[in-house]
Amino acid sequence: MPTWSQSLAKPASEFPLKSLSILSGKLPDGLRGTLYRNGPGRLERGQEKVGHWFDGDGAILAVHLTEEGATATYRYVQTEGYQKEAQANRFLYPNYGMTVPGPFWRTWGKEVKNGANTSVLALPDKLLALWEGANPHALNLDTLETKGLDNLSNLDPNQPFSAHPKIDYQTGTIYNFGISLGAKVILNLYKSDATGKVIQKSTYPLKGLRIVHDFVLAGPYLIFFVPPIRIKILPTALGFSSLSEAMQWKPELGTEILIFDRETLSLVSKGKTDPWFQWHYSNGCVSKNNNVIVEFVRYENFSTNQNLKEVATGKIKTPAKGTLWEVEINPKTSQVIRQEKLLDRALEFPVIPNHQTGENWRYTYLSVYRDNANLSQELLGAIARFDRKLKTITIADMGENKYPSEPIFVPHQPQSETGWVLTVVYDGNEHQSELRIYDSEALNDHPLCRLALPNVIPLGFHGTWKQA
């Protein structure tokens, strides 16, 4: 089994607030706040394994950096499904990549479990644990105690609040979406104030159940690329297959482009272009000629889903190469004017300085594979900064058998392009986890500080930074 698999081999252990020891360097002056990270902490229950990496129970890491030093805590989100399955010591609910273990009829009438395992949103008075298919869970910002489901004052139970909200940092306005299932499939659009309260909603009907994981804010627009995937509803409804297993790649349908006005949440234009798949966008902006520029990680097909399913088994057989692309679109017609591959290196988890969301930006931070890594065996082993102006990339290689999380950029000043880059690293040589802090201007140099974490933190998905 590959070294990285040991981070996922056993359910992660929670730990209360503990002081962190410094492995090397020192905590940078001025870096004060909290790093939050989310990901599946448990991929088995009893003798049963999940069907996909996306099915694991969400667990949150919080690392608090203060004048007194660094502390951390790690806790599972106490969803209703987690609590009931813990009591029964077996899986009771279907999920993205699994049905209820046993006869197919056990899945009948069962709601999909809210995994609360994908991302986090730090609000002034609470932390939201986000997941694709339901309302978020609210947690205490300091202790990570689960408060319960949160409808943000204005969401129905069947209106999911998805895992990739976009924030206009000039106004504090939060934009997000969610897909509702029923007699019709509905794309819900939301606008929230800085406290998270949903203050405006709109709906747009979709033809059939689609997979939409992320979207992009670009100037006055909200933009969705809807990949050519169609889902067979009947086998899923009857319990014969999971949602993931019912998905079909249909390249002949092309990628659908939907562009909405961010003020009115109404459709501006729609169109189609070449088939591709994407999980994540870096950013978007409006160019000098009033076209829209969108940067994202593009896959040529849907093999990435099988790849991520295999991560949960601890052994990858299906390679999937995502590369960094930029497209230019006429927002009035959704016509693609230009497509350009920016980096041919395999990568994922693009991040930019938060204050530049929706605006022109220079630097994109990424998780990348190490040089000469075998995509059929390895996971992301380095982080990097791509300079869009110079078309150059600077890489921080974690070292052999060491695996970073998505890089999080923290600016020196509120509007600065320079700052620190934080990543949680699993060290497979020592079977331990640590937080590394890098200088954004010297990413390929030694980290400024390395902090030892009390327990292994399984490889996960997304995080955020909340300034003190």
For residue 234, what pLDDT is reported? 78
For residue 245, what pLDDT is reported? 93
Distance of CA 23 to the CA centre of its chain: 28
Beta-carbon contacts of 166 under 8 Å, excluding residues fewer than 6 positions away, are 174, 175, 176, 215, 216, 217, 222, 357, 358
Token duo for residue 14: 């929670």
For residue 209, what pLDDT is reported? 82
Q: Which domains does the chain have, with CATH numbers?
A: 3-467 (2.130.10.10)
Give the number of other CB atoms < 10 A from CB of residue 445: 11
pTM for the model stands at 0.97
Query: At 251, is the secondary structure helix, strand, or coil?
Result: helix
Bigger pLDDT: 182 vs 48: 48
Alpha carbons 117 and 446: distance in angstroms, whole number: 31
Q: For the ranges 3-7, 34-38, 237-241, 393-397, which has the lowest average pLDDT?
A: 237-241
The per-residue pLDDT for range 139-163, each reduced to its tens digit, is 999 999 999 999 999 999 999 999 9
The per-residue pLDDT for range 369-420, each reduced to its tens digit, is 999 999 999 999 999 999 999 999 999 999 999 999 999 999 999 999 999 9
The per-residue pLDDT for range 63-90, each reduced to its tens digit, is 999 999 999 999 999 999 999 999 999 9
Rg (CA), the chain: 21
**Residue where the block lists tokens 């923290």:** 410
The backbone torsions φ and ψ at residue 9, rounded to the nearest 5 degrees and listed phi first, read: -65, -30
Query: Do 294 and 218 meet the contact criterion of CB atoms below 8 Å apart?
Result: yes
Token duo for residue 221: 């627009």
For residue 181, what pLDDT is reported? 85
